[in-house]
Amino acid sequence: MVSVQAVADYILASVDVSKGDSITNLKLQKLVYYAQAWHLVSLGEPLFAEDIQAWAHGPAVYPLWKRFSDCGWHAIPTDEVVDRALIGSIPPASAQVIDSVLEAYSHLSAVELEDLTHAEDPWLVTRQGLQPDESSNRVIEHALMTEFYVNAQ
């Protein structure tokens, strides 16, 4: 297992700023969520240990959100924050899973990814009984993610 920060830096390093691409904290959170889900299904174990919570705007990892909270809704300055040493801690099989997630989802906007997660059982079931905009720190369980995404294939 690696840290969620390593996964985030791996994703941030894939953003091609020279072509005008950017990524917000909201979009990063969703890509990290899908990386965890796909890793659970593909390799049978978590990619990172940090909990994913069912926030009003979709799945989120608090320490990761905190790291980039100063960016608000703006693009993360990827060239200033990526730690290459953290990226190097990711095993090749895990990197392949993250690459697959990026291939499948990185073309979607943050709002499209938010809408997608809002339509899927792990987030829906975890937020059951809450108002749409109600704060929550409920954890999206690995078993729920695994069950849903295995069946979604």
Task: Tell whether the model's pLDDT for residue 96 goes beyond 90.
Answer: yes
Task: Tell whether the model's pLDDT for residue 20 goes beyond 90.
Answer: no
| pTM, entire model | 0.96
Determine which of 11-25, 56-70, 127-141 has the lowest per-residue pLDDT on average: 11-25
Query: What are all long-range contacts of 90-96, with beta carbons under 8 Å and residues at least 24 apart?
Result: 90/2, 90/6, 90/7, 90/10, 91/2, 93/43, 94/2, 94/39, 94/43, 94/47, 95/10
Phi, psi of 81 (to 5 degrees): -115, -15
Please report where in the chains the tokens 């297992």 appear, as a residue.
Answer: 1
Note the pLDDT of residue 79.
80
Nearest CA to 98 out of 23, 47, 60, 24 is that of 47
Q: Are 125 and 20 in contact (CB under 8 A)?
A: no
Note the pLDDT of residue 152.
83
Note the pLDDT of residue 153.
66
Percent of the chain with pLDDT over 70: 99
Single-letter residue type at 20: G
Domain regions of the chain by residue span: 4-152
Q: Would you place residue 78 in the very low, low, confident or very high pLDDT band (cuts 50, 70, 90)?
A: confident
